[in-house]
Structure 1
Amino acid sequence: MTLNEHKKHAKLARPESGNFGRNEWAIVGGPCTVIKLLADDVIRALSPTYKCAYADTSHNDDITLVPGRLTNGAVLDYTDQINYQQYNFQNPVMPYQLKQQFANADLVLVNGNHQQAKAQVVIIDINKRASLLKRLEQLTNVQLFLLADNSDEVFDFIQEAMPHWQDIPVYRLSDRERIIAFFETNLKLARPVLNGLVLAGGKSQRMGFDKGQVNWHGKPQRYHMADMLKPFCNEVFISCRSGQHGEVDAQYPVLVDTFTGLGPFGAILSAFRERPDNAWLVIACDLPLMDEATLRNLVAWRNSSLTATAYHSPVTDFPEPLIAIWEPKSYPILLSFLAQGYSCPRKVLINTGINLLNAPDPKALTNVNTPEDMEKVKRVLHQKTAAN
């Protein structure tokens, strides 16, 4: 490698995010009060289904006192206000910290008179024409125009700056139903693509041989599970350890663990590292009783606004992390748990907001870890075959 070819940093797939979150719009061009009221109406309508957030800048022109313990030099002042939580920061909040705070939001609305976002909704108001002209360079991805009562057309300077402005929908600012429908439609279209991940990288120490190679249904179990996932997923990958890649049939895409020594936790993180904007239907390869009905039910009840959708395990009485759909918003949460010394995916599910389901047939969640487990499942499968 020559000096010019040297790469200082690892090439990582970065999540598609703006200044605050994945789906963010700056509302710009109207008085701040109008922007606030519009944001209130949209959030009120969508919050029963989506996690909504709002970003603004204080309008108090007076010199304000530093709140709470910050006056004495604290860098952070946290107060549990019972109905909500309040954080006051002494130091400026850095961009990466903002993204962390807004990571759980499905929709972020921003007062574009003070903050910027990767997409914009532009209010056309005669009284704010000069102000909007000054912000013309900030209109990089306009997706909706809203005409105030005093306006009937998009300003000429916007038409000149945006050759395809006529392709952008134009609504009346008073038409709240259409505006709300605009955001709702975009959130539905932004639902993360669902990929499948078959966990087959374990060492099977208790079993004594590779569980993914056991032939329960006419083919090695890892391929059987991958084939079961295909109707429900955009792509399906087999997760394996480094060095196992050559052992997997070439017709099945492989995703090698890059977070090593962490078991399933590392496999899930490795998947997000590869495709951070995709959701992952994660399934262990040692579930010989798994059926299509159980998978179909999981996908049908998927809630992409939550961290994950998982089944309740009647054996552990906890969420089952290895037959679950992990949403992209779980990625920073998993990393946060790892930074605090935890590598248990079940612990993540227990301590975050998830959609917890009961399996149509709890036996489908049965995993096989030992030769004794294997013999029990053989008898169950034999009885099913005999019954049919």
Structure 2
Amino acid sequence: MILNEHNQPEKKHRKHAKLARPSTGNFGRNEWAIVGGPCTVIKLLADDVIRALAATYKCAYVDTSHNDDITSVPGRLASGAIVDYTHQVNHQQFNFQNPLMPYQLKQQFANADLVLVNGNHQQAKAQVVIIDINKKASLLKRVEQLSNVQLFLLADNSDDVFDFIKEAIPCWDQIPVYKLADRAKVTAFFETNLKHAKPVLNGLVLAGGQSLRMGVDKGNINWHGKPQRYHMADMLKPFCNEVFISYRAGQQDEVDGQYPALQDTFTGLGPYGAILSALREHPDSAWLVIACDLPLMDEGTLRNLVAWRNSSSVATAYYSPASGFPEPLIAIWEPKSYPILLSFLAQGYSCPRKVLINTDITLLNAPDTAALTNVNTPEEMESVKRVIHQKIATN
């Protein structure tokens, strides 16, 4: 829930721009509340699932302390600090004085691929329901929270879904039912859902630069029989759901109407603004971003990047031998990069390479490093022309 300037729930009427919102729940994109069993059983189930999936997916867990737990204020919070941060030997620990607002919780869980929630205390947009005779009365009280049940788990003392759940949930008989003790099936359920939830991959050709060093529009140079912006867009099409050409304000008439275009709405930030603009428009999509000044780029390099894409990372990028750092303008930026890019911008950074250097990415070696060659000056253009002509003559 978002509060307005009067500290009241936001109403449907809006005075401000309508933005595309990421499809997150209370905590993350892929979240399940496990409800209907004792808290100890829920915690053990979460432990087993997380242990099985942690090597591939970033997992998180949400719970609430019981009344009988120790509730004394930890660390320097007791002295009045608003945040207490401790760098432990094997983990980092933050304690906050004030309750986290819903939007702050989403920020904390933005990097998680899977969020498991103790549904006895917290809610999530999807539910896994444990059928336990001993918790029947407790589950009955929460039946209205079962808005999106995706799995039933039968405890050892139960052999069927409760009648009140059958009455409350349409098409309940189409929801899978497993034994709670069958951890392999339960883990496979979450793994399958995470695979299906892999963000769709769109393409973005960066063609909004002013090409000041080149002296002519780099996106309009004809290296391969057509303007480079369209050549790049055509190369991306086999690997992407949709491909867009990024352009700056006032440049729209220069883009062929046959190619979908996306205006840079974060002006004055160069490629950084173009990437943010794409994520702003489609925040649930991943973006294969490519600069239009890479005349030696080939399908093999793109195919390798997509094949080794790791959607659990912030981005998948190539190591650039020329710079010694990740190359941000031939890279796949996942939806989870959006809040990170905004966070860097808020701290005064607008270099996409700095984001890659300082976040969790998957870094690859390019099959042919020459494909990463970018051209910014007339001298570089003449050198690459000779390379292309030599390749044509050889073939």
Normalising by the smaller structure, the TM-score range is over 0.9
Amino acid at match of 1:296: R
Partner of 2:386: 379
Equivalent in 336, 341, 354 of residue 347 of structure 1: 354
1:94-146 CA distance string (max 9 Å, x none) = 11111001000000000000000000000000000000000011000000000
Alignment of 1:139-154 (within 5 A): 139-154=146-161
Distance in 2, matches of 1:281 and 1:252, equals 16
Residue 189 of structure 2, aligned match among 160, 182, 187: 182
For 1:72, the equivalent position in structure 2 comes to: 79
- Post-superposition Cα deviations, 1:24-51, rounded to whole Å, max 9, x if no partner, equal 0000000000000000000000000000
For 1:214, which of 221, 243, 257 is the aligned residue? 221
Q: How far 1:59 sits from its partner (Å)? A: 2.1
Q: Which moved more, 1:148-157 or 1:56-65?
A: 56-65
SS of match in other structure, 2:130: strand
Residue 162 of structure 1 and its aligned partner are, at CA, apart by 1.2
Q: Of 18, 32, 43, which residue of structure 2 is paired with 1:25?
A: 32
Give the alignment's Cα RMSD to 1 decimal. 0.8
**Are residue 59 (structure 1) and residue 62 (structure 2) matched?**
no
Deviation at 1:273, TM superposition (A): 0.3
Uncovered stretches (5+) of structure 1, i.e. residues with no partner: 1-5
Structure 2 counterparts to residues 115-134 of structure 1, below 5 A: 115-134=122-141
Q: Structure 1 residues 297 and 28, CA, compared in 2 at 3 Å: closer, same or farther? A: same
Moved more, 254-263 or 54-63: 54-63
The one-character-per-residue Cα deviations of 1:14-33 (angstroms, maximum 9, x if unpaired) are 00000000000000000000
Matched, 1:245 2:252: yes
2:48 to 41, 45, 64: 41
Counterpart position of 1:137:
144
Q: Within 5 A, what are the aligned runs for 1:1-388? A: 7-61=14-68, 64-388=71-395
| Residue 3 (structure 1) aligns with | none
Measure the CA separation in 1 of the matches of 2:355 and 2:89. 24
Output the amino acid matched with 1:57.
Answer: T
Tell me, in whole angstroms, the C-alpha distance in 1 between the residues paired with 2:70 and 2:256: 68
| Local SS of the residue matching 1:322 | strand
Q: Deviations over 1:194-253 (max 9, x none)?
A: 000000000000001100000000000000000000000000000000111111111100
Specify the SS of the correspondent of 1:108. Answer: strand
SS of the equivalent of 2:144 reads helix
Letter in 2 for 1:158: I
The runs of 5 or more residues in structure 2 that have no matched partner are 1-12
Q: Write the distance in 2 (CA, Å) between the matches of 1:163 and 1:220.
A: 55
1:373 partner SS: helix
The Cα of 1:385 is off from its aligned counterpart by 1.1
Percent same amino acid at aligned positions?
Answer: 83
Q: What is the SS of the residue equivalent to 1:78?
A: strand
Aligned residues: 383
Where has structure 1 moved over 2 Å in runs of 4 or more? none
The Cα shift of 1:348 comes to 0.1
- CA deviation profile, 1:294-345 (whole Å, cap 9, x unmatched): 0000000000000000000111000000000000000000000000000000
Match of 2:8 in 1: none
Scaled by the length of structure 1, the TM-score of the pair is: 0.98
Counterpart residue number, 2:5: none
Task: Work out the CA distance in 1 between the residues paired with 2:296 and 2:26.
Answer: 45
Distance 1:113 1:340 in 2: 38
- Deviation sequence 1:59-86 (CA, Å, 0-9, x none): 2525621111001100000000020000
